[in-house]
Amino acid sequence: SNVTATTDAAIALDGAQYAFHSVPVQSTRGFLTKTKDLIPPTLPIITLSKVRHSLDSLAIFQRAELRCGLNRD
């Protein structure tokens, strides 16, 4: 029931029940590339990214996951 803010992905993801992804869309690929080994494959990720254009933010996030080698199956 405790919420803690941190900029350290390892600390934030350790024991997490879910994750909020609030990185700008244009930075998603870089962020996921750096943190993919810290993200458990079963961890639910809730994206809060805003898309400037009429693109589907979920589709962008999923493509970034695939390009970074995250297997969320």
Give the pLDDT of residue 54: 46
Average pLDDT over residues 21-50: 81
Q: What is the pLDDT of residues 39-69, one digit of tens each?
A: 888 888 887 876 655 455 556 566 666 666 6
CB atoms within 10 A of CB 50: 9
What is the pTM assigned to this prediction? Answer: 0.58
Q: Are 47 and 21 in contact (CB under 8 A)?
A: yes
Give the pLDDT of residue 10: 92
Query: What is the distance between the alpha carbons of residues 16 and 12, in angstroms, rounded to a whole number?
Result: 7
H helical segments located in 1-73? 9-13, 28-35, 57-67
Query: What is the distance between the alpha carbons of residues 24 and 40, in angstroms, rounded to a whole number?
Result: 22
